[in-house]
Amino acid sequence: MMAEQLSFKYVVEECLSEDPKEAGSDDEEANLDGDEINKRFCGNRILKAFANSLDPDETPQNVAKAVFGETRAIVIASSSSDVRRLPSATRVLKSDFARYNVEDEDSEELDQDDNGWKIIHTDVFRFPANKNLFCAILGVGMQFLTLATGIMLMAMLGLFNVHHHGQINSAGIILYAFTSCISGYVATNMYKKMGGEKWVWNINLTSALFAAPFFLVWALINSVAWAYGTTQALPVGTIILLMCLWMFVGYPLTVIGGIFGKNGANGFDAPCRTKNIAREIPAVPWYRSGFAHCLVGGFLPFSSISVELYYIFATLWGREQYTLYGILLIVFGILLSVTACISVALTYFQLSSEDYRWWWRSMFSAGSTGLFVFLYALFYYYKRSNMSGLLQTLEFFGYTILTCYVFFLMLGTVSFFASLSFVRYIYVNLKMD
C-alpha cells in the first residue's frame, strides 16, 4: 500500500515539475523509471494549472485524484445523458412535423386515425392543479440557482478561506436574504400568468417555502446542541440577528419582487387554445409511468455529480479541504444540462402517450435527484464516516434533508422551464386546423 502511494505521488509530482530531471530525484524510493513516466505524463500540464490555484497544503496526490475523478464524472455524464441523442431527437421531431403538417384536405383523416402529441394540443397547456404551490416552488428554485452560482463564483475569486467553512455559511445566509426578490418575482409572475388571483398568499407561501422547514430543522438541532452544552449552539444574539435579517431584508424583498412580478405579468400566451372539457388520458405501460420517469430523471443527473459528492461530503463532514471550485462550477453546469436534456426527453415520451399532465411530472422527474442524493448520504454515513451519537446524527441527517430539498427545488425548476420551452417550440411549429 505504501509503495502504491509513493508511486502515485511520484507520477503527479513529475507532472507538476518544471524540471523533469529534478522531479526524478526520488526514483529509487518510488521504484519507477523516471524517463518512462516523463514521456507518458509530463506532456499534460492540466494538473499544474489546477495546482497553481490550490491551497499550499494541498498535496499533489489529492490534486490528481480530484482531477481524474472529475474527468471520470464528465465522461459518465456525457455518456449517460441524452446530449448525444439530441440529433436523433431532432430528426424524430422533424419526422413528426412532416407527418402532422399535412395538407388541409387530409386533416380530417388525420384527426380520426392518428395519435400522438398533436391530438392533445387542446389540453397540453391546461394549467396544473395547486398552481399556487407550483409557482412558489419555481420562485424558490430560481432563487437557489442564483445563490449557488453566486457562491461558486465568489469561491473561484478567492473570497473564502478554505480553513474557515463559516465564511461560506455566512455568505450563503446573506445571499439568501438579498436574492429573495428573485423568488418573489418569478413565483408571482408565473402565478399571474396562470390566472391566479391570490397573489398575496402566493408571496407569503414563497417566502416560507424554504425558510419554515429550515427554521424547524435548525431549531431542533440547536436545541439539542444547547442541551449538550456544545459550542455548535448559536448564541441568542446571533439568533436574533438572523431573524432580523429575514424579517427586515428577506421578506420585504420577496414582497417587492412579487409586486414587480405581478405588474409585469402579460398573460401566458399559449400557442394553442385550451378546451373546457379535459380529454381522457389512455393507460400506459409501467415504463412510461410517473414513477419510472422519476427514477430515470433523477438517476441520470445524479450520475453526473456522484464523484463530486464524495469530495463535498468529505469537506462538510470530514477534515478535507475543497479548493477546486472551477471544476465544481463545470460539474454544476453539466448537472443543469443533463437535467434539461432528460426532462425534454421524458416530456416528449409523455406527450406521445397522449398524457398532457406534464407540468408537475416534469418538476418531480428531475427533482427526484434529491432522493438519490439522500440515498448516497445514507451510504456515506454508514460506510465512509465515523459519526455517532444523537447530536452528530441529527446534524448530519437534518442538514442533508434540507440539502436534498434544495436539490429538488433547483433541478425541478430547471426541468420545468426546459420542458416548457420544448412544449412551446413543438406546438408553435405545428400547423393547427
> Out of 201-205, 272-276, 315-319, 421-425, which region has the weakest mean confidence (pLDDT)?
315-319
User: 413 near 359, Cβ under 8 Å?
Assistant: no
pLDDT at 89: 56
- CA–CA distance, 389 with 224 (Å, rounded to integer): 12
Residue 40's pLDDT band, with cuts at 50, 70 and 90, is: very low
How far is CA 338 from its chain centroid?
A: 10
Cell digits for 181? 426578490
Q: Greater confidence, 37 or 428? A: 428
pLDDT at 311: 87
Mean pLDDT of 383-396: 90
pLDDT at 15: 45
DSSP string, 60-86: HHHHHHHHHHHHHHHHHHHHHSSSTTH
**Which residues have a Cβ under 8 Å from the Cβ of 154 and sit 6 or more positions away?**
160, 171
Number of Cβ within 10 Å of residue 351's Cβ equals 22
- CA–CA distance, 101 with 84 (Å, rounded to integer): 27
Q: Which ranges of 81-235 would DSSP assign to H, the alpha helix?
A: 86-100, 107-113, 131-156, 166-178, 180-193, 199-228
Q: Greater confidence, 73 or 283? A: 283
356 pLDDT more than 60: yes
pLDDT at 380: 93
> Out of 264-268, 341-345, 359-363, 421-425, which region has the weakest mean confidence (pLDDT)?
264-268
Mean pLDDT of 125-141: 95
Of 96, 128, 421, whose CA–CA distance to 271 is shortest? 421
Looking at the whole model, is its pTM more than 0.85? no
- CA–CA distance, 413 with 390 (Å, rounded to integer): 34
> Out of 69-78, 301-310, 397-406, which region has the weakest mean confidence (pLDDT)?
69-78
What are 147-188's pLDDT values in tens digits? 999 999 998 888 887 667 678 889 999 999 999 999 999 999
Mean pLDDT of 415-424: 95
What are 296-353's pLDDT values in tens digits? 999 999 998 988 898 889 888 877 777 778 888 999 999 999 999 999 999 999 999 9
- CA–CA distance, 389 with 395 (Å, rounded to integer): 10
Residue 59's pLDDT band, with cuts at 50, 70 and 90, is: very low
Mean pLDDT of the chain: 80
Cell digits for 46? 492540466
Mean pLDDT of 254-275: 91
pLDDT at 275: 87
Mean pLDDT of 228-232: 83
Number of Cβ within 10 Å of residue 325's Cβ equals 19
What are 13-28's pLDDT values in tens digits? 444 444 444 444 444 4
- CA–CA distance, 68 with 47 (Å, rounded to integer): 10
Q: Greater confidence, 10 or 432? A: 432
What are 80-108's pLDDT values in tens digits? 444 455 555 555 665 665 555 554 445 54
Cell digits for 417? 422551464
**Which residues have a Cβ under 8 Å from the Cβ of 373 and sit 6 or more positions away?**
302, 309, 400, 403, 404, 407
Residue 1's pLDDT band, with cuts at 50, 70 and 90, is: very low
pLDDT at 339: 95
